[in-house]
Amino acid sequence: MSAATPSGPVPSVTDLTGRTALVTGAAGGIGRACALRLAAAGATVRAVDLDAEGLAGLVAAGPAGLGTVEAWALDLTDLDAAEQAAAGTDILVNNAGLQLVRPLEEFPPEVFSRVLTVMLEAPFRLLRGALPDMYAQGWGRVVNISSVHGLRASPYKAAYVAAKHGLEGLSKVAALEGAAHGVTSNCVSPGYVRTPLVERQIADQAEAHGISPERVVGEVMLADTAVKRLVEPEEVAEAVAYLCGPHASFITGASLTMDGGWTAH
C-alpha cells in the first residue's frame, strides 16, 4: 500500500482490500450505492448518516465475503464528531446533501446555514480528521460528490449552488496540498440522479414554476442535457470507485462531470 509511481501495466480492477472508507449520506441514493460499491471492492466502509433505519438496511445488503459496511449514525452538523469519525480512514467520500428550492428573497436563513454546514463545512472538518493518517501512510483518496450545480447555477437553489461551488474549490485545495503526500482529491459532478432528493426537488420545482412534475423533468431539469434521462446512483458509484483505484493515481484536482452534456453548451 505504498504511494510508489506505477512502472508497468496498472491493473484495471479496483482492489480496496485493507482500506477503510467513510461515506457520508450513506443510507440512500448515491451514498448507499457508493458504500456498497466500495465494500464490493474489499473496503471496510464507515457508512455515516442520520437515518439509522436506512443504515440498518444498508448493512444488511452489504456484500458477503468481501468488504464490510459499518453503520455510523451521525449528525454532520456536529462538526467535532464528524472530524473525529474520519480519523483513520484511507478513503473519504463526501456525499451528504440537502436541498430547498426557493427564491432568494424567500430563502430561510436558517436553512441556508444548515445546507452550508452539512455540505461544505462538514466536508472540511472530515478532511481535517482524515488527512493526518492519509499523509502518514503516503496514500489517500478524497472523492467529493459535487454536482453540475458546482459548475453551473440554477435559479431558486442559492444554498445548494453555493455549497457545491465551495466544495469544488475545497477539493482543489486538498488536491494541491495532498499531492506531495500521495493523496488525491477529486469531484464527481453528476446531473440529476435518480434519488429521493431529486424526487423532492421535482415537487419543489413544480410548485416554484407552477407547472406539473412531468414538465419539471422534461422542461426544467433535463432542458439543457443532451442525454434525456436521469443518472443512476450506481453510475456515480462506479466513477467513485474508479477514482479510488490505482489507474487514477494521476487524476487529482479534477471534476469528473456526468451531466449528459449539460456543460457542453
* Predicted local distance difference test score (pLDDT) of residue 217: 83
Asked whether residue 158 carries a pLDDT value surpassing 80, the answer given is yes
Q: Strand 183-190: give its sheet, edge to edge.
A: 68-73, 44-49, 20-24, 91-94, 140-145, 183-190, 255-258
pLDDT tens-digit series, residues 195-214: 887 887 788 778 877 899 88
28, 196 Cβ separation under 8 angstroms: yes
Mean pLDDT calculated for residue range 134-153: 98
Phi (first) and psi of residue 17, to 5 degrees:
-55, 130
Q: Distance (Å, rounded) from C-alpha 96 to C-alpha 78?
A: 14
Cβ pair 123, 83 in contact under 8 A: no
Q: 20-193+231-258, what's its fold?
A: Rossmann fold (3.40.50)
121 contacts 170 by C-beta, under 8 angstroms: no
Q: Does pLDDT of 23 surpass 60?
A: yes
Give the pLDDT confidence of 94-118 residue by residue, as tens digits.
999 999 989 999 999 999 999 999 9
Residue 159 CB contacts under 8 Å (≥ 6 apart), including other chains:
100, 107, 111, 112, 115, 116
Alpha-helical (H) ranges within the chain are: 29-40, 52-60, 79-85, 109-116, 122-137, 158-178, 196-209, 213-215, 233-244
Give the bridge partners for 144, in sequence order: 94, 187
What are the residue numbers of the active site? 160
- pLDDT of amino acid 209: 79
Percent of the chain having pLDDT more than 90? 80
Give yes or no for residue 123 having a pLDDT over 70. Answer: yes
Cell of 265: 453548451
pLDDT for 76 equals: 98
The mean predicted confidence, pLDDT, of the chain is 92
2 has a pLDDT exceeding 60: no
Q: Residue 195: its pLDDT value, please?
A: 87
Contact of 106 with 88, CB cutoff 8 Å: no
- Mean pLDDT is lowest, of 33-37, 138-142, 194-198, 258-262, for 194-198
DSSP labels, 117-161: IIIIIHHHHHHHHHHHHHHHHT-EEEEEE--GGGTS--TT-HHHH
The contacts of residue 208 (CB under 8 Å, 6+ apart) are 101, 102, 103, 156
Distance CA 245, CA 140 (A): 11
